[in-house]
Amino acid sequence: MQADGRRGDPRYLPIGEHGLIGDLRTVALVGTNGTIDWYCCPRFDAPSVFGSILDADRGGSFELAADVPYTTKQFYFPDTNVLITRFFADDGVGEIQDFMPVERDNTEVDRHRLIRRVTVVRGRLPFRALVAPRFDYGRLPHTVTQDGGLTVFTSPTLGLTLSSSVPVEHDGRDAAARFVLREGERAVFALDRAAPGVEPRGCPLEQAEELFTATVAFWRKWLSASRYRGRWREIVHRSALTLKLLTYAPTGGIVAAPTTSLPEQIGGRRNWDYRYVWVRDAAFCVYALLRLGFTEEAEAFMGFLDKHVRLDGSCPAGPLQIMYGIDGRRELPEEELPHLEGYRGSRPVRVGNDAVGQLQLDIYGALIDSVYLYNKWGTPISSRRWDELCTLVDWVCAHWDQPDEGVWETRGGRKNFTYSRLMCWVAIERAMRMAIQRGLPADMPRWRESRDAIYRDIMEHGWSERLQGFVQHAGEEVLDAAVLMMPLAKFVSPTDPKWLSTLDVLGDALVSDSLVYRYDPEQSPDGLEGPEGTFSICSFWYVEALSRAGRLDEARLAFEKMLTYANHLGLYAEQIGQTGEQLGNFPQAFTHLALISAAFNLDHALG
């Protein structure tokens, strides 16, 4: 059966019908039907082992479910990233507890354990399991053998071992099991990477219990550092836990999303690989986590920059790339995987990202703002890091007036984007604050001259008298939700008449039931075909802009409405579609960090 691109293809769950588990090195998506349909091993950007979310027939999956008609409910064990999928059937109630223990020993960085614990809490239920890995995005063959109670999957590049407390059979390619549990009984499946030189290990029921307890304790201890006590504590903490899951512990990098090629339009071509460290996204994550009191993640990201980001002033796109690999690598060649049909027929499936070579000037403001906040709320900036920051600021002073590809990574040519100019202003202004506060050496006359020149440029060329609003870029009267960052970045007063007029214009043109489109692709061609959904980070920016403008009733209503568009676990993809579905890579860091910021500021405004 071939996919026809219909949203209702029964072989694919909706994107939002998934939960996320992980071990700070990689993640797995678990569907509400109990199937793991996305898992890359041993790290975020490795080729997929289970990828049926991108091709139901060729991608591979780990199915585990009740073997009778059922309905399900999925939720997280409170204050953790341990996921529970509950099955309701005529003869009983069963649960799958999915989690990945977080290894503390750095010698174990390449050894991962995915544990699926099955239990019946009422009655009696039969279950079935099918473990069908497809290595290297389904491109590599593999063999299956059994050795001492372990089922071993071996491909030319990766091996996995499956231990199980119930009998497992295999056909040379996949492993399967059928079993019955009564009330109070449990079964365990544990999938490990077969690391070279590491002895394969089983997972008895007692050990699974110990690992479950330790994993719960890890997440609760981490979350206990949160200082947030506001009105939306549960959803804010879920966003924080999600951002933490997107952190690659060995380097401190934070991925924009843990998936690739989930479409922004079903059947469309807006499909990208987000499993990398975008400077912008990671810097904003640092801001959100610092707001809540998590300084360790900010320090780890600063360490990532320190160790892996080479400031090369000779590069045409500037001393910073817009993104890096989670290990700091600079080359991320983009390729298409034509053998995969894509989610519900949404070709192409892409790995790598050619946008790595784009010029996006806004990243300097995002990064320097995060350094400014880390200097303020975390650890004072070191002398060496200050020298590096001065290099960045000097480069911005010399290049802020260049056209670039902009924050949305358009592939329609470089333009003089207002948002890019805004964030160049932020870069210089925050550096000047640090220099003054700490008495640090800086070329203040030059910085001040450039900062003021950018301000005047935006006020003159970024403003449309006819629209009575700030526009996407100079020369054309096109709106862009990115300018919602103007008051958030303290560029303009949130009650400035020009800004209040812009807020009204954006509300009329780009807002639909609290949901915000980032721009109109027909008015501002971005080099790609087809429409897209509303952009969830923009929706939360809109909430914060309303809040800062004193329109608190509108802000609270818009925020509460946005919360109803989350999935059943409080997770968001990149976009919301026409009928309220999650679209794009999932879950997306950008959305969750903006939720945290909006909740924090709205709480403060409401008192």
pLDDT of residue 526: 59
Residue 467: phi, psi to the nearest 5?
-80, -20
| pLDDT at residue 530 in the model | 63
Distance CA 4, CA 466 (A): 45
pLDDT at residue number 3: 34
Half-sphere exposure of 335 (CA within 13 A, CB side): 9
Taking alpha carbons only, the member of 536, 463, 553 closest to residue 501 is 463
- Residue 241 gets which letter from DSSP? H
The tens digit of pLDDT for each residue in 186-239 reads 999 999 998 777 778 889 999 999 999 999 999 999 999 999 999 999 999 999
pLDDT at 6: 37
Residue in this structure with the two tokens 């902009």, named with its chain if needed: 406
pLDDT at 246: 97
- The whole-number pLDDT of residue 5 equals 37
Measured torsion, CA atoms of residues 587, 589, 590, 593, in degrees rounded to the nearest 10: 120
Dihedrals phi, psi of 308, to nearest 5 degrees: -120, -15
How buried is 554 (Cβ within 10 angstroms: 0-12 exposed, 13-18 middle, 19+ buried)?
middle
Q: Which of 492, 379, 383, 472 is nearest to 429 (CA)?
A: 492
Say if CB 139 and CB 283 are below 8 A apart: no
The residues facing 39 across adjacent strands are 28, 50
Which H or E run includes 428?
Answer: helix 418-438
- State the Cα angle at 563 between 282 and 94, rounded to 5°: 95
pLDDT of 99 reads 98
CA dist 295 and 102 (Å) reads 19
% of the chain with per-residue pLDDT over 70:
95
Using CA atoms, how far apart are residues 13 and 347, in angstroms rounded to an integer? 17
* The pLDDT of residue 268: 85
Residue 523 has what pLDDT? 73
Residues of the chain with pLDDT under 50: 1-7, 107-109
List of E strands, 274-347:
277-278, 323-324, 335-336
- pLDDT at position 316 is 62
Query: CA-CA distance, 464 to 476, in Å (whole number)?
Result: 9
Please tell me the predicted confidence (pLDDT) of residue 270: 85
pLDDT for residue 529: 65
Q: Which structure tokens are listed for 497?
A: 């008449």
**pLDDT for residue 108:** 46
Sequence-distant (≥ 6) Cβ neighbours of residue 296 within 8 angstroms: none
Counting every residue written for the chain, the total comes to 607
